[in-house]
Structure 1
């Protein structure tokens, strides 16, 4: 069984001053994945990145709240993380093992930070990591456009770190 893991789809990142590339398409993709996961009885996990007290993303900050556009349900597991890797200093690996997941389907934000480090860590921890090619995004940087960052990570992570699959081709 595979679990769905959606990273950092937070108000501060998604609705902040720097808009993510292809944001509306990402929301549609994530909601489709949520629907597929539920129909298959797959567990759903959503991570929220928080910072230290006094920071704009301190625990409880409105910036760390998940975007309302995601179609969440009461049995979805929402947890906080403080590192880019969603497994670091969290009980995510234990929770995945407890629900019988051999693999984790990864999507969300931001491509070059949390998505990248979580894909790499999942494989190191013995999970079959699947990155949804059209299920992650970021914002432009001074060096690269977001579209190029996403394409680069899809190419770089595919193989040694995870399988890269388009959402329409993934079935839980």
Structure 2
């Protein structure tokens, strides 16, 4: 069984000054994945990135709250992380194993940071890592457009680090 892991879909990133590329389409994809996971009885985890006390993203900050556009039921496991890799300094791996998950389907933000780091770590920890091709996003940078960053990561991560699958082709 695979669990769904949605990374950092929080107010400060999604509704911040640097708008994510194709944000509305991403929300639709994530809500479809949430529905598929619920229908299959797959566990759902949502990570919120927090910083140290006194920072703009300190625990409890409005900027770290999940976006209300996600169709959540309250049965999800919501946890805080303070590293790009969602497994670092959290009990995510243990919680996945406790729920019988052999794999993790990864989606959310931001492609070149937390999505990338978590995909790589999941495989290293023995999980079947699946990245949803259109299930992650970021903002443009001075060096590359968000579209280029997403395409690059889908191509680079596929194979050695994870399987890259379109949401419509994924079944929990």
In structure 1, list runs of 5 or more residues that go unmatched: none
Partner of 1:24: 24
SS in 2 for 1:54: coil
Partner of 2:3: 3
* TM-score computed with the length of structure 2 as normaliser: 1.00
1:148-163 to 2 correspondences below 5 Å: 148-163=148-163
1:67 aligns with 2:67: yes
Measured in 2, the distance between the counterparts of 1:55 and 1:149 equals: 27
Shift in Å at residue 3 of structure 1?
A: 0.1
SS in 1 for 2:100: coil
Measured in 2, the distance between the counterparts of 1:142 and 1:83 equals: 23
SS in 1 for 2:51: coil
Measured in 2, the distance between the counterparts of 1:98 and 1:10 equals: 26
Partner of 1:41: 41
Measured in 2, the distance between the counterparts of 1:19 and 1:97 equals: 35
Partner of 1:144: 144
Partner of 2:116: 116
Question: Following TM superposition, where does structure 1 have runs of at least 4 consecutive aligned residues deviating by more than 4 angstroms?
Answer: none
Q: Deviations over 1:62-105 (max 9, x none)?
A: 00000000001111000000000000000000000000000000
RMSD of equivalent CA atoms: 0.3
SS in 2 for 1:132: strand
Shift in Å at residue 114 of structure 1?
A: 0.1
Shift in Å at residue 112 of structure 1?
A: 0.1
* TM-score computed with the length of structure 1 as normaliser: 1.00
In structure 2, list runs of 5 or more residues that go unmatched: none
Partner of 2:53: 53
